[in-house]
Amino acid sequence: MIARIALALTLLALCGGRALAEEPLAVTRIAPGVFVHHGEIALMNEANRGSIANIGFVVGDDAVAVIDTGGSLFVGRALLAAVRRVTPLPVRFVINTHMHPDHVFGNAAFRGTSDGGGNPTLVGHRQLPEALATRGQHYIAANRDALGPYAEGLEIVLPDRTVADTMRVDLGNRTLLIRAWPTAHTNNDLTVLDEATATLFAGDLLFMDHLPAIDGSLIGWLAIHDTLAAVPAERVVPGHGPSSAPWPEALAPQRAYLAGLAAALRPLIRRGLPMAEAVATVPPPEDWSLVEEFHRRNVTAAFAELEWE
C-alpha cells in the first residue's frame, strides 16, 4: 500500500506542475509512530521556504495528528506529503503550539485531509484566536519579502477548538495530552505529550541551538520551568533545535540563558541604569545561534518587563 502511494507520489512529482511543493519534507522517526522534521536554525527566507521550526506528526491506529505546520503553505504541503508517505490515515487533528508564523503558516495545506475529505480539527491555546486575529496581518506583511515566491497563498487559519487547561485527543489506541500554559514564550503556548512513547512536543517552550526568543514574559517562562521538567516524558521535541533530545536535561541551557538575563538585569535596574545602557551592558551568551538577531531584542523586552518588579 505504502509502496503504491510512494510510486503515485513520485509520478505526480515528475509530471505534476507543482513538483517542488509536493516533495515530501524529510522527517525522522524519533519514536514508534512519531515523526519530526528538523527546521533550519535561521530566519525565514526563500532558501528555506520558511521551514525554520520543528514540525511533526503522530500516527495512531485510526488517525494522524499534525503538530505545527511550518512557515509557508509550501512547507505545509510538503509536511502533508511526508505524512502520506507514511500513512493514508485521515489527519483528524492539527495542533498549533503557538501563534508564530514558522509554526502556523502551513495550516491551510491540511484542508480536506481528514475523513471523507473533511477538514481536521485545528487546535490551539484559548488565547490563540485573538493573538492570530490581531497579529496575522502583521505577520504576513513582515514575512512576505523574506519568503519571496513562497509567500504565495499565505493565510491565517484560526483554531476550531481551544484549550484552556488540558485536552486529550485519541488517534486510535493512542492519546495525546494537549496542555495550555500561562504566558511564557508567548501568551498562547501549548505542549503535546504522546503518552504511548512519552514524547513531549514542547513547541517554543523549549529552544535548543536557536537562542530563545521572548515574546510573552521572561518571568512567566522561567516560572514554568520546574513544572515543565516534571512532565513525564523521556524525550522532547523542541520548537527549534535537534529533532529529539533527552528530557528534562534538554531544558538546562535555556533555563541558564533566561535566568542569566534576569540575574544580569535586576542589579542594573536597581542601580537605575537606563534601558539603552543596560542593553549595551548585558553580554551576549555563548553556545547559541542567532544571538545577533535575538539577544539585544530579548534584553530590551526583559528590561521593560523587569522594571515593573
Partner 1 sequence: MQRLPILAATAMVLALASPPAFADGAWDDIRWSLYGDDAIAEDGLVTLEAPYRAEDAALVPMTIRADLPEGDDRTVTELVLVIDENPAPIAATFTFGPKAKVSEISTRVRVNAYTHVHAVATLSDGSRHVAEQFVKASGGCSAPATKDPEATMATLGNMKFRRFDTPAGADGPMNRVEGQLMIRHPNNSGLQMDQITRLYVPAWFVQNVTVTQGDDLILAMEGGISISEDPSFRFDYLPSGEPIRAEVVDTKGEAFSAQWPSGAS
158 binds partner 1 (CB under 8 A): yes
Q: Which stretch binds partner 1 (CB under 8 A): 41-49, 89-97, 105-113, 181-189?
A: 181-189
CA 252/CA 154 separation, integer angstroms: 36
Q: Which three-class secondary structure state does DSSP give residue 86?
A: helix
- Per-residue binding string, partner 1, 104-123, x by CB under 8 A, is --------------------
Q: Is 217 in the site for partner 1 (CB under 8 A)?
A: yes
Choose, by CB under 8 A, the member of 113, 162, 186, 191 that binds partner 1.
186
By CB under 8 A, tell whether 301 contacts partner 1: yes
Q: How far apart are alpha carbons 70 and 237 in whole angstroms?
A: 15
300 is an interface residue for partner 1 by CB under 8 A:
yes
Terminus-to-terminus CA distance in the chain, angstroms? Answer: 60
Number of residues that bind partner 1 (CB under 8 A): 32
- For residue 240, the Cα-to-chain-centroid distance in whole angstroms is 7
Stretch that binds partner 1, among 61-69, 182-190, 202-210, 237-245 (CB under 8 A): 182-190
94, with CB counted inside 10 A (0-12, 13-18, 19+), is buried
C-alpha span between 61 and 70 (Å, rounded): 25
Single out the residue of 9, 275, 289, 291 in contact with partner 1 (rule: CB under 8 A).
275
The span of 4-12, 13-21, 243-251, 291-299 binding partner 1 (CB under 8 A) equals 291-299
What residues contact residue 185 under an 8 Å CB cut-off, 6+ apart? 98, 203, 204, 205, 212, 213, 214, 215, 216, 221, 239
Q: Record the cell numbers describing residue 306, joined without a space.
A: 523587569
Residues in contact with partner 1 by CB under 8 A are: 127, 130, 132-138, 141-142, 156, 158, 183, 186-187, 215-217, 272, 274-276, 279, 296-297, 299-301, 304, 307-308
